[in-house]
Amino acid sequence: MPSRFVLIWLPNLATDHRIRVRPELYGLEFVLAAPERGRMVVKAVSAEAGALGVETGMVVADARAILPSLIVLDEEPEMTREALHALAEWCLRYTPTVALNAPDGLILDVTGCTYLWGSERAYLNDLVAKLTHAGYTIRCAMADTIGTAWAYAHFGRPGGIIPPGEQRNALLKLPPAALRLPSETLEKMQKLGFYQIQSFIQIPARMLRRRFGTDLLEKLNQALGYSQEFIEPIRQAVPYQERLPCLEPIVTATGIEIALQKLLEMLCGRLVKEGKGLRKSVLTCFRVDGRVQQIDIVTNRASHHVKHLFRLFELKIKTIAPGFGIELFLLEAPEVEDMTAAQETMWDTAGGFENASITELLDAVTGRAGTETIHRYLPDEHHWPERSVKAVTSLREKPKTNWRTDRQRPVFLLPKPEIVEVTAPVPDYPPTVFRYKGKVHYIKKSEGPERIEQEWWLQEGLHRDYYTLEDQDGRRYWIFRLGPYSEEVEEALPEWFIHGFFA
């Protein structure tokens, strides 16, 4: 199978990314500039400014003379490099081998990948469409060699696909600059009248070497595929996973436990060295018949304690159906967190969530009953009751404010207050009777009102007057009146809502 490469050129990478960061720049004439020899020089030009005659390399004063409304921003090369690297990581969904072609390009080794899209044209169209939709101006090409793909992306028809083995014909009518030659070599070729590659491609190699040096022959041979060009793919973080192939298929629960124990020891050993702990782990079992069995666990805080993690998995091992045998085990930790020194000694501490037994108990309950069984809430800095509490997933998170203890609050709070029918004296008396879900409640005791206003910076609305009520059966409720009575209009009675239940 011949190698296939895609070269992606982003000619406006710096300005396109700046628009993504600051959408208000879309459609405006702006440039990115940097100081050079005591002058501000244009380094990147937006499409709108370029259409009006502004070019890279211009002095900013000259550019403003051409376009007085020009917006000048500081060039940030590091931001552009980070954007290019982020795009390279994004392209990993199209191929496992992506390399940077700094400062504004990417190289994709797509050998054996395009069939997943049905054809090379469908592959390239999908790639171009997604990058264009993200706001980037791109030119790309596909060929057997990196050199030809680069040449066609920069000087050929946009989106061109060079058929396998046809790189020579594709290069003939392109200028010498398509071979990525230094400016000195290009100047010599210009003086000799070599305006296209076809004008010198037939000249013997010894004559080209004597006249232009070895660089021309090297670039030409790479583009034609006579010599190989190597790329350095971006380095992804090694995933937290361990594999265990089996010499003989595993068919018993005991064998699965032994394999799991060994995998946990290997994985946790790496986590300890890197000062991390897992929050979620997945054990995948690949059977000899091609089927896959999978179980997972979650922890309430980061952990690399082998015995504890094994006990969590042990609850689910019985759900694995080995069939005719398992030939490969894969243990992954898709979610990990940094562990502090205090966490690393948690197994010897006591008190609250730092107590190992409490943490293990929560993990065991979660493993048996599901992740939706245990919830943790912290106080939030809001006035309205439904906003004053927030759900958190980690035991490490600390409250930013203290729980309010000066006022009694119901044990169960409705996520959204529900309207009730109320009989109450006016203007500020508590209800004497209310109907909720078809049942009538006669009030024996009451307390209130407690007025709670909305945060004006979030939304505008009426205040609430809360009452704590006890009915004839001794059940207690938290009910509020929305807004004041209107003395001018008798029919404009305020609405009443039930919001919570006391134990």
Under 8 Å between Cβ of 281 and 305: no
> Residue 163 carries which DSSP code?
P
Q: Where are the beta strands (DSSP E) in 201-256?
A: 241-250
Give a yes or no: residue 374 inside a domain.
no
Give a yes or no: residue 145 inside a domain.
yes
Residue located via tokens 């020009």: 70
The predicted structure's pLDDT at residue 347: 42
Give a yes or no: residue 92 inside a domain.
yes
Alpha helices in 431-502, H assignment, sequence order: none
Which 3-state string (H, E, C) describes 338-407?
Answer: ECCHHHHCHHHCCCHHHCHHHHHHHHHHHHHHCCCCCCEEEECCCCCHHHCEEEECCCCCCCCCCCCCCC
Q: Residue 31: pLDDT band by 50, 70, 90 thresholds?
A: very high
Residues 18 and 66 grouped into a single domain? yes
Give a yes or no: residue 101 inside a domain.
yes
Residues 133 and 190 grouped into a single domain? no
Spatial distance between the Cα atoms of 116 and 154, rounded to a whole number of angstroms: 27
| Average pLDDT in the chain | 87
Spatial distance between the Cα atoms of 252 and 244, rounded to a whole number of angstroms: 16
Give a yes or no: residue 407 inside a domain.
no
- How many domains does the chain contain in total? 4
Does the pLDDT of residue 493 top 80, yes or no? Answer: no
Which helix (H) or strand (E) covers residue 168, if one does?
helix 167-171
Higher local confidence (pLDDT), 44 or 448: 44
- Of 205-219, 384-398, 484-498, which gets the smallest average pLDDT? 484-498
Q: Residue 349: pLDDT band by 50, 70, 90 thresholds?
A: very low
Residues 216 and 100 grouped into a single domain? no
The predicted structure's pLDDT at residue 158: 79
Give a yes or no: residue 377 inside a domain.
no
Higher local confidence (pLDDT), 13 or 344: 13
Q: CA dist 334 to 143, 178, 224, 246, 407, Å?
A: 36, 44, 43, 23, 43
Q: Residue 340: pLDDT band by 50, 70, 90 thresholds?
A: low
Q: Which of 109, 124, 155 is the last residue of a domain?
A: 155
How do residues 281-326 score in pLDDT, each as one tens digit?
999 999 988 889 999 999 888 889 999 999 999 989 989 999 999 9
Structural domain boundaries enclosing 261:
241-368
Give me the sheet containing 5-9, strands edge to edge. Answer: 98-101, 105-109, 5-9, 139-143, 160-161
Q: For strand 160-161 and strand 139-143, is the pairing parallel, antiparallel, or unpaired?
A: parallel
Residue 188: CATH number of its domain: 1.10.150
Closest by Cα among 110, 158, 118 to 11? 158
